[in-house]
């Protein structure tokens, strides 16, 4: 009802902004539904209608639940960039290279504004694309590339533009958060829960981009670049996924008052910038520990604004389409924020600090032989490397081999240690020495602890 106001009449009369959509997967189809379903709202907010004049996708026959009659169909996505009936190119193909990169580059070179949801492309080639967009004087927008429906880009680049940001990050991959939440709640192992997530459509058939942390790292690199004013070299981001998290770790974390989340963390330090993605123990009472299932959360800290947390759906047809459409409305209104929030003129990439420079508290889980002196051996190594202990946990005793001589019995027990803050270089050396001890079986697990 509120939308029947007079304001939109003017918007509806102006010449439409004509868009071409490359890629008609979930997000592309969602964008068509959003622009059609909210046509009046969008026209009022944009000051003119937004019309879909062209699309590009491989399969013309697949039913996407949207009517594309009257829309020009390009089999070659790159042709959208020079279609005379397209004012703005929407790139929803994905991938840092190949067609997506050629399409975006061609469109920017031709002076066409681009809206993309492609986190890999921006994370890897964002610096050169920004220079290109600035040279031809057109916007390159990518709100949908990070955290779906959460306006994280707009918040960091515009809402907090005046502050000196010191930290940005959060829960940036819904698939991993879903898996870790389900593992915690059900006690089931990673492989089981991953298979279930795949069946439910929360994880891809090839899950590695998600579960190995690469997707989160793309998003983190973009957020860090915006927060600190210079794109971060993607190859310098330290990335660990969640495959190594054992159900045991979730239990121990709970016993210690923590939850485990895959976090992206970027921090400004005196000597450089940290940018990394890895599982973290976070205090169970911290706001970020409450963000469960497929939800994402973005945390930003600045000297003046303090701490801000944004929580919402990080993926899916509706949320991602909302982000793409918001960029289109900004373009229709004539907004012109530079790609990295400041002039690309002379803007060089920053290398993130190496992991040896990290400085954290650490959770260690070892499998040790259940015999006297083990704890003394392990703690002596830590002492020799200047690592001081905060707490220690040992659950259960080893199961003795059955007296009847049959196989069975586990000679090892888990030993969990929590350290005070220490340099990761020292921690890694100590861990190498500990793994080599004869009382330690297999590879120790190490998870960093974050205050959340």
Q: How many residues bind a second copy (CB under 8 A)?
A: 83
Draw the binding track, 307-346, toward a second copy (x: CB under 8 A; -: no contact). Answer: xxxxxxx--x-xx-xxx-xx-xxx--xxxxxx-xxxxxxx
Site string (115-144) toward a second copy, x via CB under 8 A? ----------------------------x-
Which residue's CB is nearer to a second copy, number 213 or number 225?
225
Confirm whether residue 24 is marked as ligand binding: yes
Pairing assessment for the beta strands 88-91 and 140-141 based on DSSP bridges? unpaired
Selected range binding a second copy among 117-125, 198-206, 207-215, 303-311, rule: CB under 8 A = 303-311
Q: Which of residues 45-84 bind a second copy (CB under 8 A)?
A: 45-47
User: Is 29 known as a binding-site position?
Assistant: yes
Is residue 25 part of an annotated ligand binding site?
yes
For a second copy, the closer of residues 141 and 387 by Cβ is 141
- 261 as an active site residue: the answer is no
Query: Quick check: 354 binds a second copy (CB under 8 A)?
Result: no
117 assigned to a ligand binding site: no
Structure tokens at 325: 């459409």
Task: Write out the binding residues for a second copy, residues 152-181 only, by CB under 8 A.
Answer: 154-155, 158-164
In the bound complex, what is the minimum distance in angstroms from residue 32's beta carbon to a second copy? 12
In the list 19, 29, 34, 52, the residue contacting a second copy (rule: CB under 8 A) is: 34
Least spacing, CB of residue 71 vs a second copy, in Å: 19
Residue number with CB closer to a second copy (318 or 411)? 318
CB of 130 to a second copy, least distance (A): 10
Chosen residue from 19, 22, 27, 44 binding a second copy by CB under 8 A? 44
Taking the least distance from each CB to a second copy, the nearer of 304 and 438 is: 304
Decide whether 54 or 321 has the Cβ nearer to a second copy.
321
Annotated catalytic residues are 219
Binding residues for L-homoserine: 204
Binding-site members for NADP(+) are 22-29
């Amino acid at each position: 009802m509120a939308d029947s106001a007079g304001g939109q009449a003017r918007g509806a009369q102006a010449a439409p902004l004509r868009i071409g959509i490359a890629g008609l997967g979930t997000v592309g189809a969602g964008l068509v539904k959003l622009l059609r379903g909210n046509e009046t709202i969008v026209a009022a907010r944009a000051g003119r209608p937004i019309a879909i004049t062209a699309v590009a996708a491989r399969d013309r026959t697949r039913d996407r639940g949207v009517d594309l009659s009257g829309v020009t169909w390009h089999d070659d996505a790159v042709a959208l960039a020079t279609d005379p009936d397209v004012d703005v190119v929407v790139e929803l193909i994905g991938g840092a290279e190949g067609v997506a990169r050629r399409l975006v580059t061609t469109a920017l070179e031709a002076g066409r504004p681009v809206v993309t949801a492609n986190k890999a492309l921006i994370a890897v080639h964002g610096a050169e694309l920004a220079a290109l967009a600035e040279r031809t004087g057109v916007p390159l927008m990518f709100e949908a590339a990070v955290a779906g429906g959460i306006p994280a880009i707009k918040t960091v680049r515009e809402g907090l533009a005046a502050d000196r940001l010191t930290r940005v990050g959060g829960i940036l991959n819904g698939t991993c958060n879903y898996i870790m939440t389900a593992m915690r709640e059900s006690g089931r192992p990673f492989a089981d829960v991953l298979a279930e997530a795949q069946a439910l459509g929360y994880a891809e058939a090839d899950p590695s981009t998600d579960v190995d942390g690469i997707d989160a790292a793309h998003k983190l690199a973009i957020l860090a670049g915006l927060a600190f004013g210079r794109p971060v070299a993607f190859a310098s981001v330290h990335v660990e996924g969640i495959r190594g998290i054992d159900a045991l770790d979730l239990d121990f974390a709970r016993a210690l008052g923590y939850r485990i989340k895959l976090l992206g963390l970027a921090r400004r330090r005196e000597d450089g910038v940290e940018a990394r993605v890895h599982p973290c123990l976070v205090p169970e009472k911290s706001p970020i520990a409450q963000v469960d299932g497929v939800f994402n959360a973005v945390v930003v800290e600045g000297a003046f604004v303090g701490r801000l947390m944004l929580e919402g759906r990080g993926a899916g047809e509706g949320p991602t389409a909302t982000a793409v459409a918001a960029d289109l409305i900004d373009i229709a209104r004539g907004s012109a924020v530079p790609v990295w929030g400041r002039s690309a003129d002379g803007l060089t990439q920053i290398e993130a600090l190496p992991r040896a420079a990290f400085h954290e508290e650490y959770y260690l889980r070892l499998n040790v032989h259940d015999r006297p002196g083990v704890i003394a051996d392990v703690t002596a190594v830590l002492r020799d490397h200047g690592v001081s202990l905060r707490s220690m946990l040992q659950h259960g005793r080893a199961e003795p081999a059955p007296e009847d001589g049959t196989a069975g019995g586990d000679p090892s027990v888990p030993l969990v240690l929590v350290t005070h803050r220490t340099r990761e270089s020292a921690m890694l050396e100590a861990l190498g020495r500990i793994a080599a001890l004869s009382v330690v079986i297999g590879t120790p697990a190490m998870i960093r602890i974050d205050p959340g």
